[in-house]
Structure formats: C-alpha cells, structure tokens
Structure 1
C-alpha cells in the first residue's frame, strides 16, 4: 500500500522543541540500522557491530541538539544549522509514531538563490519499507532545498537513479557512491567531532576487545580492513565503467 502519511522537515530550532519520544524513535531506528549507515562495510553479525552503532547514534544525538555556527565566507556572516525530516505512521490514529527519518545539513552559499543540502542518514523502519516512505521524505526535503547530495553503496545506486539522482564520484572514504539530483555547489559545515568523539570510539573498541579477547578482535579487525578494501575496489570499478561510457551527469560538489 502506498504511503500517505505526514512528513515534516525541521531545522535545529524546531528539532529542539520535539518531544523526547520523537528523539528516542529516531535513535531507535538508527540503532537498528547502524551497520547499513556506516561509512564502511560491516556485517550486523560482526563482533565490531557495536562500533557503527555508537558512531551513528553519537552523530545523531549531536544533531538532535540545536547547533548554530556563524562562519565568515567572503566577508559575509552566514549561520548554518542541522535539520531532520520525520515520516509518521499513516496507520497510527495519533499520527505520532515515527517510522522514518532523514538527517541533513544545509549548504551555505554567497548567493541567496542557491539551495542545497547534504543528506546524512536515511532510515525507514523494516515493516514500512517498499511503500514509498523514503521517496516521500526526499520529496519533502527537496521542496525546501532544490539540490540534494547523498551517498549510498554501489548496490543501491539503481534505487536512487530511479528517483532522479546520478552518481558524481566516490565518497571521501571511497567505500560509497556520492549521488546528486542537480548541480551541487556551495559548502557543507559540520560540527567538529573533537576529542570527546575520539575518546568514545577508543573506549568502544577497548570494550569490544575486552569482551571478545585479542585474537577474535584482531581477526574481526582484519576482516573489516579486507571488506573495506574490497568495497573501495568495487566503487573504483563502478566509476571506471561509468567514465568509459560517459554516463556521469553532474560534477562532484565544489
């Protein structure tokens, strides 16, 4: 059945006043899908599966807190903030059950007519997939920002192509594909991760090592490195094929 529920696009100031149940729902969805949201390939059965869960939930927790940053761009002061798209269950009489979300950060420009944002995570609850929830959330976001930039695995490229997105190049990590639905310009500002973030990751890795032992940890870490290298090769081959056939439509974001 096609999704006909309510979708809301919220910026930091609006996210701040959301009730705790909505915050919890977003984090619950992210936690359950953390391995698919990671910038590197990792199985949910991996002993290291806790790592992407911590990373994803930490980033979302930070973005659910309102942040503003005034930056100087060509002598102009520009304010940037994060945002959230929420999809609500169309079968819930109260219309308060969150079944999907997108977190994003708008780009900043020197031209006021420009409108682009960078998509972080896209998550739809397992029981609501295949009904057009993601499509509805992206459409709602695109009604506010004409150009969206996101990334996905090679295996999911065809889904986003069907929605009007084209590959622009490998992600910075090289394990995913950057996609865009137009000419991407401007810059994206993100809050620096800082010492606390690095400390959290180190503590998570140490905790995993203590639980499973050095030998199993080292095996899992080597498997992660091998999978990472294999995924980078897959992305590289994907773009080599596209370049040779002149399929690339949009340049990478500048």
Structure 2
C-alpha cells in the first residue's frame, strides 16, 4: 500500500510538468532549424512552349534531319522520310534508334495518325517507342503507339500501354488528324555484377497531358509471344518502330530527352 501511495504523487507531478517540458522544447526550436540551403538546384530554362526542349535537353529530332538516329538492324544512317518539320515512318527501312545511349531520362515526343488511316485493331497506325532498345529487332521495353480512337483491340496493346503488360489508366487518344503527345519518365532496371535483377524498371507516362502510367513497374522486356523477362543491360538507345501493318504510316516531331542520371 505504501508503494502505491508513492507512485500516485509521482504521476501527478509528471502530468503537471509535461506541458512545461513541451513548451520548453518548442521554445528552443526556430523556423530556420528546418530550412535547407544546400545544395542549390541548377537552373534549367524551360522551353517557350510545352513542346520546346528545356535548356538541358538533348534534341533528338528538330524537324530538319536524322543525324541523331541510325537504323537499328545494321547501324547505317536512318532513312525515314523527313519533310515539313516531321519524320514519317519508312517501313522498308525498318526500326530506327538513337546513336546515343541512355539510362534514366525524361522523354518528350509527338506523333501523328493521318486522317486517311485504314485497318483496324493492331493494323491501324501501329508503331512503338522502345525506351531501351536491347537488340536489332523488337527487343526492349515498349510503350505502344496505335490509333486507339474508336478502335477496339486488347487493352494491353492500345496506345500508351506498356505493350503486352499494362494497359493505360485511361484512353486519352485524340482522333486521327490531330497530334498526340507522350511525356515519359523512364527509370531503368538495375542489375548486379552477375546479371541478377537488383531493382525493376518503372515508367510514368502522360498521354496528351493525361496521366496514363503512374510509376508502373515493368515485369521485363516486351515480347509479342511469351511472358516478359529481364535481360541485363546498362545503357541503351531509344528506338522507334516501323511496324509492318498496311495502313498509311504515322509521323513524329519534337523529340527531345533529358538524362536524369
């Protein structure tokens, strides 16, 4: 009984003192205590329009030539058709890819489905943006390009899908005859020295300003047949696909990239 009597006054004293202790602790802090001044972020001047590259971007296509690109199959000069400030897919020439290799980056590009587009499903304006091209064919990590305006197909194959993996959150497609915009943030996969996957790839995609992939985790590279899987790589080119469907070819413009490594 004596021990219980001793404890009660101690608890009362602690309760009385606690507000005073809290006040004293707060009084020793200042707004400046949580301010960070270093390191100072570098200055990047944005483009005058959303389509224009910021000051730290690498311009991959400026409407004049394909000097930053090569044919994926044999690394010869890219032979797609440059005209009127755009580049149009030349299917016989095959896929093209950047001469420069990248790891993590922000990518902007615009693509155009012509008004006289024909076909349906996957045979209607089909192309693709491979965020890391790991081979001469269709190896790599693909964001689908397709006319998905009133065009039914499998949802993980429509525009802005991670092809054969993840459908877009919404269908933000404009009709043929209007330019489409992709803004992409690519986080490359990381591998250990023995080729084991350390961390997977992630991608965020805005289609015409609408979020359609929200830091989506990839299961591996794109495969037309079979499940996706990872293959070790460090840096890789960005590739544009020349699909073999019979519809009139699509075009691209305003392509630039900001390395984030």
TM bin (shorter chain): under 0.3
Return the TM-score normalized by structure 2.
0.24
Bigger share in strand: 2
Point out the structure with max Rg over C-alpha.
Answer: 2
Calculate the TM-score normalised by the size of structure 1: 0.25
Report which structure shows greater RCO (CA 8 Å, sep ≥6).
Answer: 2
